[in-house]
Amino acid sequence: MTEPATPAVQVLALHGLPEVRPGDDLAALLADALERDGLALRPGDCLVVSSKVVSKAAGLTWAGERAGAVAHHTRRVVAERRGTGGVTRVVESVAGPVMAAAGVDASNTGPGGETLLLPDDPDAEAAALRAAVLERAGRTADTAVGVVLSDTAGRPWRDGLTDFALGSAGLVVLEDLRGGTDHDGRPLAVTARAVADEVAAAADLVKGKADGVPAALVRGLPAAWFASDADGARSLVRVGRGDWFASGHVEALRAALGVGAGTRDSEELGIRSVAPEPLGERVGRVVALALHDVPDGSADVAVADDHAEVVLAAADPYDLGRLVVRTEVAAASEDLRAEHTARSVGAVTLRLT
C-alpha cells in the first residue's frame, strides 16, 4: 500500500512593506503587500509577522536607558552576567518567554534607532491582527488562517539564534502526539511538536535578519493545525513547577546565600563576567557573598597565581561554622573548590582553587 505524500509547504516573503510607524494600520499594510505579491489568503495559510512591526505600529518605544526598559519588562531574573557593554540578564519577560533582556531591542527598529518593547500580551495582538486581516480579506473568523508574531532568541545548550512564536492566533501551537505511535508502531510518550515555533522559524528563512522583510506567508499547512479558539503562544512557555531550570546554577547558589539575581545586593557584591576573570576578582566575590549574612565575621585573603588562602574568623563558634559553610557554597558559585587547610581557636583557613 502506498503511503500518502506529505503535503508541500511554501514559505513566501512579503515584499514592499513600508517602514512601519506609530499609528499605522498594520492589517492594511499586510493586505496591500499580499495584493502586490499576487497572493490572496486561503485556508492553510499562516501569516508570520515580526513582533517589531507590531511594536512599531503600537508605538511601544522606551525613551530612557535600555536597562530601565529591561527592568520594567522583567518578571524575574533567571541569570545575569557582566560583559563589555554592561550587565545582560536572562529574564522571564512580561510578554511571557524567558529570554535575554526581556526582548528589549534596538536592532532593525528603524532609522531613528528607538528602543522597542515587546507587547505585554502578544497573543491578544496576534488575535486582533488576525481578525483585521480576515475582515479585509472577506473571510469569516473560522477560516483556517493563522497569525504568528515572531521574535528571535537564543536557546539553552545551543549556539546561535532562531525565531520563535511570541504570539499566536488561529493556529494550534502544540501538536500533541502522545498516545500515538511512531513509524515503527512504538508508542509515543513525550512527543509534542511546537508547531507555532516551527512555523516562525521557517518564515525567518525568507524574512532574514537584515533584509527589511518583516512578514512572510507560510502556505499549505494541514487543516488540523488551525482552530479559531486555539491556545496562544503563551501556553508554550514553561514556567512554575514544569520549569527544571528556573535559575542558573550560579544564581541559585547566590540566592541560597541571600543574594538574588537582579537585586541591588547582587550589583554591589559583583556579577560574574562572560569573559575570563582574574582569580582575585572571583575570590573577592566569594568572600563578599560569604560575609553577606555574617556581620560579625571577617576574612583575610591572600591570592597567589593558582590559588587563594582565605582565613575566616568569628568570635562565636556558631558564626564561624556558618561562615565556613557559606564560603564553601559561595566558592561553588564561582566554580572554585574550597579545601580546609588549618584550624585554630576562632579561625579556619580555606584554600580556594
Predicted confidence pLDDT, tens digits, the chain (353 residues) = 344 455 689 999 999 899 999 999 999 999 999 999 999 999 999 999 999 999 999 999 998 888 889 999 999 999 999 998 899 999 999 999 999 999 998 765 555 667 899 999 999 999 999 999 999 999 999 999 999 999 999 988 899 999 999 999 999 999 876 555 556 666 655 567 899 999 999 999 998 765 779 999 999 999 999 999 999 999 999 888 888 888 999 999 999 999 999 999 999 999 999 999 999 999 999 999 999 999 899 999 999 999 999 999 999 999 999 999 999 999 999 999 999 998 998 999 999 99
- Position 1 scores a pLDDT of 36
The answer, as to whether pTM is greater than 0.85, is: yes
In the 3-class helix/strand/coil scheme, how is the chain assigned residue by residue? Answer: CCCCCCCCCEEEECCCCCCCCCCCCHHHHHHHHHHHCCCCCCCCEEEEEEHHHHHHHHCCEECCCHHHHHHHCEEEEEEEEEECCEEEEEEEECCCCEEEHHHCECCCCCCCCCEECCCCCHHHHHHHHHHHHHHHHCCCCCCCEEEEEEEEEEECCEEEEEEEEEEEECECCCEECCCCECCCCCECCCCEECHHHHHHHHHHHHHCCCCCCCEEEEECCCHHHECCCCCCHHHHCCCHHHCCCCCCHHHHHHHHCCCCCCCHHHHHHCCCECCCCCHHHHHHHHHHHHHCCCCCCEEEEEECCCCEEEEEECCCHHHHHHHHHHHHHHHHHCCCCEEEEEEECCEEEEEEC
All structural domains of the chain, each given as residue ranges with its CATH number in brackets, are 10-60+119-242 (3.30.1330.100), 277-352 (3.30.70.990)
